[in-house]
Structure 1
Amino acid sequence: MSVMALMPARAQDAKRWDGADDLATEPLDCAMAGAAMAPAADATADASMAEATPAMMAAPEYIGGAATGAPDLAGKPITLIDVPKLIGIGYFDATTKGQQEAAAELGNVTVKTDGPTDANIDKQITFIDNAITSGVNGILFAANDPVAIAPVLKKALAAGIHVVGYDANSEPDAREWFVQQALPNGIAKVMVDDMATEKGDSAAFAIVTSTFTTPNQARWIAEMQAYQEKCYPNMKWLETVEAQEDAKVSFDQATTLLNKYGDQLNGLFGMTSVATPSSADAVTQGNA
């Protein structure tokens, strides 16, 4: 059994991935296809990329929103609040640490992290609403739900507060910029290729994610499905379950999948920093 990283909890089979957004998928080249490319073609492509400069590359169209009447704070004290999906887990402890280090380096920036202790979009919206009334200059966020969070972020923009997302996006016009840690189709390729390497190109797998509407994981899973169908058509996607970014729920969900599918299940994908170790624990205890 392999475990890959990257209310009653719901489950969903792979016939249709309803948790994904409505963006088109862009699966990368299959692993074997990439290895079979002619060296001359590779060399030409590498040379072309090497000669390219930032000025030669077309900048993508800006599709974000704008803070209405935001003051010019150049050289002045700036107060930010960070509202992640939840607090108290290692991943967002790390993003908080990075923000504090950046603020100290800039010198005129103060940033505070505050948010719900569980991945609850309603609670996250309340934290952002409170930040708006507190008079901060900017809000950083990682969305639990891209659609539900949009109105309160637009409210912040209308109040002249800068809004920047990271990790998990909102609707684009509800924030100014989004910092993406990795391309979703790249994450998908690595995870599915690793499963094929570990368990073969006809492996049967299941997924433990946070929620079906969490934007980054939903997009990763959509790209995983597209890449798997393109490159490993004999693989079988058994089921996807929600675990709410909760260690116990993740463990219980992984255990349920192990018991439900038995020897038919070759591997589990953990889509969060909580689901991955908890799923691994379930596999280890199940094999004990």
Structure 2
Amino acid sequence: MMERDLLAAGDLAASLAVCAGRLQLERRDTLVVGATKAHANDVVSDVDIASERLIVDAVRAAWPDDAVQAEEGHGRPGTSGWTWVVDPLDGTRNYISRTGPWSVCIALYQGEQARMAVVHEPVANETFSAVDGGGALLNGAKITASSGPPLAEALVGVSFQPGPETKERAGRVIRELLPLSGDIRRLPAALNLAYQAAGRLDGGLALDTKLWDIAAGALIAREAGVVLGGHGEEFSTELTIGAAPALWPALSERVRAALQRPTA
């Protein structure tokens, strides 16, 4: 497997994420919403597709032998052992409806291991980034997870795909956590993890995501000191729990208990 300058890859990813974010801001008033995907709440716009093409075309030009996994269909196989995982617009419903934040997410994997990640929030002009083993940054400054207050004081992020079955599972978790936690915020998965990395959220969870939803945010969170897990020790697209170390035992126990409880 060929070596890679991860700092150079990170610089390119950050530049592309900022460019895609600028495109999204410029075209927000003229976007065209396309057909839904998996269900009625799974929407895509022409801006999602244009943003992905911008990123993937530049990655292909720089590293033509790399594989790409991309949400809107511009992926391809590769031969180098490196894979770019791209979500050009995580939080499309927020973007279209103007009801919350969204982000551009780019991660680079070596085999099965995330090695570089960028999450860019266009409205705030904030770029979260990380290189494996190098810590997490926000606009170039180091960030770390929160100190981990007790669950009763903790701010917890919740992310989930809006399909009917997933919403039922998310409802069980929210019913469990809302009376016990300081408060809850619903966010797109990448920003949920990035905000944990910056200490804005004390913990969070994501249900039934795709790899491109969490790949970049998970590396950034881990590098900032967030504990990640899911079913057992490993986080996954089915369940990702994150928390500051001191909060992890209480939050992970409550989330897992809620999901294991039979449906009423």
TM-score by length of 2: 0.29
Instruction: With a CA cutoff of 8 Å and minimum separation of 6, indicate the structure with the bigger relative contact order.
Output: 1
User: Considering only CA atoms, is the larger Rg found in Structure 1 or Structure 2?
Assistant: 1
User: Relative to total residues, which structure has the larger helix share, 1 or 2?
Assistant: 1
TM-score by length of 1: 0.27
